[in-house]
């Protein structure tokens, strides 16, 4: 990958003396096996004991990016999760050079375990082409990350609240025990009394833990692909908190569009909303904003959501 740095004036991030992000040194550091063939290993496995979808998306994008020239950058990717990933074995990524054009190049990536595809992806790369046709939505007005508690602090506040219902305690304890390589700060977190009356919307500041630096834009996009899947599909469950217990929830597909340069180790606002849920599926949309108000990435995902009713205390 090239050494060209993302060109933006966004503040934040860590100093070069800090520990390098594990997302770069481990999670997205693929082992080349042959031409167009790579092996990826696992860093964090959710409590579901299925591979984290963001890891597979990020690793697939790393594999695709290694097959294109330095002067093109990813502008979109479209992915399908076709089988559950096995956290006990590595993932093999097979890259097909579908098309290499003058302005756009397309790569197809297949992730394989036990001889079967678990994930397929199409990634499109574009040579930088300035245009006078430009517009974007306005970034929401929210408190800066420096004024908000960390995710860990917020969860501990919930767990210490005597009014927290027991049905939330198990899930929060599971989240608190996870070692996710992402820093998160929730915008306008609900009070304990509001947890049963949430909209299908959430916003939080996110960034990779550790230092990535003024590196290749391709790597920052791969890290953003990893980050984009964290808590994303859960947005569709927010209006149903307290009514149902999640029995099964997995991603079906994941799509991203990259609009402007950014640094994934700097704070970005992740704006998520779910316009629809039904038929045991949920749809979510997301936007990643740089702190200076530039829209950097747009995302969409649909997933399977199967639930069971909560068992009341009187029936236990």
- List, by residue number, the catalytic residues: 229, 251, 301
Q: For residue 220, give the nearest of 269, 260, 253 by alpha carbon.
A: 260
The span from the CA of 210 to the CA of 98, in Å, is 35
CB 294 within 8 A of CB 309: no
Residues in the chain: 316
The span from the CA of 230 to the CA of 266, in Å, is 17
CB 217 within 8 A of CB 224: no
Task: With H, G, I as helix, E, B as strand and everything else as coil, classify residue 55.
Answer: helix
DSSP 107-143: EEEEEEETTEEEEEEEEEEEE----S----PPPP---
Q: For residue 12, give the nearest of 230, 269, 251, 316 by alpha carbon.
A: 269
- Indicate the helix (H) or strand (E) that contains 80: strand 72-81
CB 274 within 8 A of CB 296: no
């Amino acid at each position: 990958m090239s050494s060209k740095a993302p060109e933006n004036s966004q503040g934040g991030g860590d100093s070069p003396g800090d520990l390098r992000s594990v997302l770069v040194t481990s999670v997205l550091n693929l082992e080349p096996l042959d031409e167009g063939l790579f092996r990826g290993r696992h860093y964090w496995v959710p409590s579901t004991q299925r591979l984290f979808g963001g890891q597979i998306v990020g690793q697939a994008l790393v594999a695709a990016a290694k097959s294109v020239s330095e002067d093109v950058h990813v502008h979109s990717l479209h992915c399908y999760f076709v089988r559950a990933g096995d956290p006990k074995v590595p993932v093999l990524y097979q890259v097909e050079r579908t098309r290499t054009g003058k302005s756009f190049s397309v790569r197809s990536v297949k992730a394989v375990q036990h001889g079967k595809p678990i994930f397929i992806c199409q990634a499109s790369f574009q040579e930088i082409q300035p245009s006078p046709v430009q517009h974007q939505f306005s970034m929401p007005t929210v408190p800066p990350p420096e004024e908000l508690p960390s995710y860990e602090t917020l969860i501990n506040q919930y767990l210490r609240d005597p009014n927290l219902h027991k049905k939330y305690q198990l899930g929060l304890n599971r989240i608190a025990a996870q070692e996710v390589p992402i820093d998160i700060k929730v915008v306008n977190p609900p009070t304990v009394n509001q947890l049963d009356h949430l909209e299908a919307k959430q916003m939080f500041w996110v960034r990779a833990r550790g230092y990535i630096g003024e590196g290749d834009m391709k790597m920052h996009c791969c890290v953003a692909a990893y980050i984009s899947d964290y808590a994303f599909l859960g947005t569709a469950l927010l209006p149903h908190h307290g009514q149902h217990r999640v029995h099964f929830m997995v991603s079906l597909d994941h799509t991203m569009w990259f609009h402007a340069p950014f640094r994934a180790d700097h704070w970005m606002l992740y704006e998520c909303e779910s316009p629809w849920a039904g038929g045991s599926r949920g749809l979510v949309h997301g936007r990643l904003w740089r702190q200076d108000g530039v829209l950097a990435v747009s995302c969409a995902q649909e997933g399977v959501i199967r639930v069971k009713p909560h068992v009341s205390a009187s029936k236990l």
